[in-house]
Structure 1
Amino acid sequence: MHFHLIPRPAEQNPNNGAAVGPQMSEQQFRKWLTTVDVNGDGRISRKELQDALRVLGLRCTRWKSWRAFVHADLNKNKHIEGESEIEELIEYARKRWGILVS
């Protein structure tokens, strides 16, 4: 099952002027993350994340996936795995990708 978000045009957020991307609940974001793992090994590689960000309609996906791994890959094994790393990725998405995870 593939879970794709339909990208919508960026809008201006009246609170801080930053562009706002797709909106989803944390549960939806976690479900989306499970679809990112295309090889089914239970871990998210940088390439898998990069491809998934491209599907969302984000630009500079190589850079964005690299920066996300700098912040979220706590054990530096080049994969996002485990609850603590997923929490870091969710927090990073809230701050940097314009994805509103509520």
Structure 2
Amino acid sequence: MQPHALLIGYFYARCIAGEGELFNIAIDPTYQGQGWGSVLLEAMIKHLGEAGAECIWLEVRESNAAAQALYQKHGFKLVNRRKHYYACTNGRREDAWVMQKKWGED
């Protein structure tokens, strides 16, 4: 039998001049709610720290309470809001939460 790999999630991030930025993180819906988001977020934090990031920035929809809770659990703090940043399917707009994690502030 051949070993196989299963992709259940990914993150897309970068580190420039000591600042990390998370652009996207996703877990296959079949595997959500099982702790994989935390595992992947921890890996991303570690990876950016090793790349020299002194802090990490991200944006999240105001309505995405599950993601906000995950980020807060891992030391991210709300530092700003971007009014009407996201377009919604109903034609309205939704605020973005700008969150930041600095090492040593957990």
TM-score interval for Structure 1 and Structure 2 normalised by the shorter chain: 0.3 to 0.5
Q: Higher helix fraction: Structure 1 or Structure 2? A: 1
Instruction: Provide TM-score, normalisation by structure 1.
Output: 0.34
Q: Which has the higher contact order (CA 8 A, sep 6+)?
A: 1
Structure index of larger Rg: 2
